Structure 1
Amino acid sequence: MKRRILVLLFALLTTQLGSLISPAYACGCGAMIPEGHSRIGVEQETSVVRWDGRAEQIVMRFTVRGDAARAAWIMPVPGRASVELADGAMFGELASLTRPEEKARHYFWPREDDWPFSSHSRDMAGAPAPGAGASVDVVGREQLGDFDVARLTATDPDALRNWLESNGFKLPDGLATELKPYVDQKWEYVAVRLAPRRQGKKLQGHLDPLRIRFDSDRLVYPMRLSRLAKTPQSLRLYVLADHRMQPASPIGGADPKVTFAGTVTPKDSALAGLTGGEPAYLTAIEQEFPEPGRIDGDHVLRAAASDVPYRRAIYHDELRAVAGGIPVWLLTVAGAAAAAATALFVGLRARRRNRAAAAASV
């Protein structure tokens, strides 16, 4: 598939918990829980990660579908986080910066779609309202567009479940189990209530991107919750750091692939808000998870052995031609035919002269 979301991770989880609980969907770095019997699915999740060795910023944008008017989304983070709306223009910038380089790959002899076999040519390239349970503290809350954002600490998954239920949401049992390792590590949570302010509006299409910041002495991208997904998952990350970055391990997926690596210097743009306008090394990573249940942890990224740049190339096969679009093979064949005709003509003339000379000597 040529187009995958995101610079970053999108995952889909459906958990049937009986008549009172609707399907819930797990994303790569959090969980999306619809209200009541409604449905919501994350079609695409694109994430941009900026890490300077001391603090980490994650900007994510969801593309959702379904009929839910309200939903809750949970993301575990290793430290106290701040949340704000982000400028979605950075995703277009990143797509432009990392687009594959198009190269021509020439061939000599015509193919079935070239003249004289066909009259046309073909491109051959494949190209949450306040409230808390006994073990939950709300450490901050903001209204950001259609998002009601609460930043929580929780000492056990049941407390988080109680908090969600007190705000109208159900925490699926499987998701509560996967949250326990984060509780054991004393991670905190960003809990977002997605509730459009316009009456009757559904959560569909692109949601406004959020920027989440927290202190971290390592670059970590939460992935554990995706192990609950029932369908194959894809991850795309745009990573901005001082060096080319790579995952420390595949964490149960296929080998990660780098699709772009190189230094960028965004100026006067949305992306410059992440880098401060200073040069940063951008690494674009894609990874497939054919069996999400094999995911065994979160992605920890570290510096690669070298900062060698890389850009993916898309090759377009083209018939080799000269100025004016004349195929080289045609000129070659015509030249060979002309040479053969000339040789034949010269040979015939020589034979005639020889015959004439022989007749004159008799």
Structure 2
Amino acid sequence: MKLRLFALLALAVPSATLLSPREALACGGCFAPPTETTVVNAHRMVLSVSPVQSVLWDQIQYSGDPSAFGWVLPVKRGAFLEVGSDAWFETLDAATSVRITAPSSTCARSGGGCGAALGSADSAGVAFGGDDVTVLHRGTVGPYTTVTLATDTPGALNAWFDENGFNVDASTRPILDAYVDEGFDFIAIRLEPGKDVKEMTPVRVVTPGANPALPLRMVAAGTGANVAITLFTISEARLAPEGFAAAAVPIDLLAWDFASQESNYGVLREKAIAAADGGRAFLTAYAQQGSLFSPVSSPAAPFGVRYTTSGSTTPVDTIAAAFAQQGLANGETGEVPDAACAVRFAEIATESRAVANPCPAGVPLSDPSCGEVAADQIDARELACGALDDLAIAMVGLHPKDVWLTRLEANLPRAALDTDLVLSPAPQERVDNWLRARVSVHADVLCGAATPVLDGDRPSRTRGQGTLVGMTLGALALAAAIARRGARRLASRPA
């Protein structure tokens, strides 16, 4: 199911459609049988951090079609695995992707506005046991067979993986031993016998306590020369990675081609990330406080951002409501109407109470064994929409009005995966994902022979400077052609 996002603007409504490629899950290492080849192309992750718990969701996009696909994640003691929803990633991705609107232009001869604001905007048996590896838990979660492992014997974990068909290459074995030395347990999952890769659904790993770190060293398993990473963080602060450069797109060079209806953002973004410390960098594409439950606007979308799914004609104005709508469209909510969920979400937008989970660890929110929360807490069940509970789990331990949603992007070379990713508070400044292009290319298609003039985004470019603007448009023609090629390469990144 596709999710569309649009903003109400004075002249037009920019829209973008989220296309969801087939994806498999993983945040840790990905291992295929020795006779099959799988290359991890990209990871999408969500990390929620509160004083009570940390929750990591992850997906990967891969090339190849393995009949068995193994996933291994180092975890702290007490962590457990649950199934997540496709709607969670689909909604966060669509709502925070960068959207470009065109500069407004005025036809010099007619004196009328001719500008437009258009957005570019499977089966494998698993043997259990072993002398040096302790199986702490085994079971089935969704379409997966899961095993939680612990050992303090160097090399024992590698031997267990060999015995159970996980193809761990020689370069990854020392990494596993290092995690063992550091006191980590491991969660390993595989598709159940008879399941197809099409049935792979998101999983989430819940860890007790605040743990703003990702096992980036394990991500190297199964990757190629580079791996694209999109990381969403949910916490009571805007977070940024430690030890990585901060990439920035030069907005003054952001151009819009009125002939092709494309921007050059994809090219600028790719170059900015690659140039920052040799690609060892993250770009903050979005960061806003309160945007999960409250409407947002921006200079490029002054009348507010609205969200809708392709299966609905009713737009909603918050990410939380869009999540419920997308889950309903995907059939992930059960029989609960998304409208009822959206009403509850709106009611807690300004809540200063913390969200609490009344259920024992690993027990679903719908289980009758769940208890009650204190009067000064919000029951997490109020944020669940039937079986759709990712938002509820993400908010446990957090105060809704204080929560930041941040989107970080990278295209890390394999050499940068030599250390785990630790997040810490960044400057608590908003980063808008709705951007207005500063330069027009082929603006003559709007006004014919008349010379268009850019609007207030460029105060120095006034009606009397048509010659300067024309020279700029000509100089950017090649850049626009490059942008079109870049847009095709990055078709999964709407901008």
- Asked if Structure 1 and Structure 2 have the same fold, meaning a TM-score greater than 0.5 normalized by the shorter chain, the answer is yes
Deviation at 1:185, TM superposition (A): 0.9
Range 144-153 or range 154-163, more displaced: 154-163
Letter in 2 for 1:222: P
Partner of residue 34, structure 1: 32
Number of paired residues?
295
**Equivalent residue, structure 2, for 1:86:** 84
- 1:33–1:99: structure 2 CA closer, same or farther, 3 Å change rule? closer
Match of 1:72 among 59, 67, 70: 70
Which is greater in Rg?
1
Q: Which residue of 2 aligns with 1:134?
A: 131
Query: Measured at CA, do residues 157 and 170 of structure 1 come closer, stay the same or move farther in structure 2, by a change above 3 Å?
Result: farther
For the residue of structure 1 that corresponds to 2:281, the secondary structure is coil
Q: Distance in 2 between matches of 1:272 and 1:72?
A: 27
Structure number with higher strand proportion: 1
State the Cα distance separating 1:68 from its structure 2 match.
2.1
TM-score, normalised via structure 1 length? 0.69
Query: Is the counterpart of residue 259 in structure 1 residue 285 in structure 2?
Result: yes
Instruction: Spell out the pairing of 1:284-323 with structure 2 (5 A cutoff).
Output: 284-290=407-413, 292-313=414-435, 315=437, 317=440
Q: Is the 8 A contact 1:64 1:207 kept in 2?
A: no
Q: Does 1:52 align with 2:50?
A: yes
Deviations 1:211-258 (A, max 9, x none): 111124330011013456441222210110011111111198523110
**Contact 1:108–1:319 (CA<8 Å) still a contact in 2?**
no
Q: What amino acid is the match of 2:207?
A: F
TM-superposed CA distance for 1:184, in Å, is: 1.3
Secondary structure of 1:256's counterpart equals strand
Greater mean deviation of Cα atoms: 82-91 or 152-161: 152-161
Q: 1:106 to 1:139 in 2, by over 3 A?
A: same
**8 Å Cα contact 2:144-2:190 kept in structure 1:** yes
Matched residue type, 1:142: G
Residue 160 of structure 2 is aligned to residue 166 of structure 1:
no
Structure 1 CA distance for aligned equivalents of residues 452 and 409 of structure 2: 45
Matched, 1:241 2:219: no
- Give the distance between the partners of 1:230 and 1:275, measured in 2 at CA: 34
How far, CA to CA, are the matches of 2:152 and 2:19 in structure 1? 33
Contact (CA 8 Å) 1:84, 1:211: kept in 2 or not? yes
> Matches of residues 101-180 of structure 1 in structure 2 within 5 Å?
101-107=99-105, 129-180=126-177
Match of 1:100 in 2: 98
Structure 1 residue 123 displacement after superposition:
10
Structure 1 residue 309, shift from structure 2 partner: 4.2
One-letter amino acid of the counterpart of residue 134, structure 1: D
1:282 to 383, 405, 408: 405
Kept in 2: contact 1:43–1:62 (CA 8 A): yes
Please state how far the C-alpha of 1:298 moved relative to its aligned partner: 0.6
Q: Could you give the per-residue CA deviations for residues 128-171 of structure 1, whole angstroms, max 9, x where no partner exists?
A: 63513222111111212321011111224521122223323332
Asked whether the 8 Å contact 2:29–2:72 carries over to 1, the reply is yes
The 8 Å contact of residues 106 and 452 in structure 2, kept in 1 or not, is answered as no
Please tell me the residue identity of whatever aligns with 1:194.
L
Correspondence list, 1:316-335, <5 A: 317=440, 329=450
Contact 1:70 1:195 survives alignment (8 Å): no
Return closer, same or farther for 1:331/1:179 CA change in 2, 3 Å cut-off.
Answer: closer
- Which residue type is aligned with residue 250 of structure 1? F
Q: Assess if the C-alpha contact under 8 Å between 2:151 and 2:180 holds in 1.
A: yes
Q: 1:275 is matched by which residue type in structure 2? A: M
SS in 1 for 2:410: strand
Structure-2 separation of matches of 1:104 and 1:146:
45
**Structure 1 regions of 5+ residues with no counterpart?**
11-26, 111-120, 333-362
Q: Is the 8 A contact 1:46 1:236 kept in 2?
A: yes
Q: Over aligned residue pairs, what C-alpha RMSD do you find?
A: 3.9
Structure 2: distance between partners of 1:297 and 1:31: 14
- 2:226 equivalent in structure 1: 232
**Are the aligned partners of 1:44 and 1:64 in contact in 2 as well (CA < 8 Å)?**
yes
Alpha-carbon shift at residue 178 of structure 1 (Å): 1.4
Cα deviations across residues 13-35 of structure 1 (Å, max 9, x unaligned)? xxxxxxxxxxxxxx983212212
Distance 2:85 2:404 in 1: 20
Matches of 1:235 and 1:206, distance apart in 2: 23
For residues 320 and 163 of structure 1, do their structure 2 counterparts lie closer, same or farther at Cα, with a shift above 3 Å needed? Answer: closer
Give the alignment partner of residue 214 of structure 2, picking from 211, 218, 221: 221
2:240 partner letter: Q
Specify whether residues 186 and 331 from structure 1 end up closer, same or farther in structure 2 by C-alpha distance, changes over 3 A only: closer
| TM-score normalised to structure 2 length | 0.52
CA distance in 2, matches of 1:237, 1:187: 22
Letter of the 1:212 partner, please give it: V
Give the distance between the partners of 2:179 and 2:19, measured in 1 at CA.
26
Give how far 1:318 is off: 7.7
Which amino acid counterpart does residue 419 of structure 2 have in structure 1?
Answer: G
| 3-state SS of 1:61 partner | strand
Amino acid at match of 1:144: V
- The aligned counterpart of 1:189 is 186
Residues 275, 217 of structure 1: alpha-carbon distance in 2 compared, 3 angstrom cutoff? closer
1:59 positional shift: 1.2
Structure 2: stretches of 5+ with no match in the other structure: 1-16, 109-114, 246-276, 294-319, 322-340, 342-384, 454-495
CA distance in 2, matches of 1:244, 1:69: 40
Contact between 2:40 and 2:63, CA under 8 Å: does it hold in 1?
yes
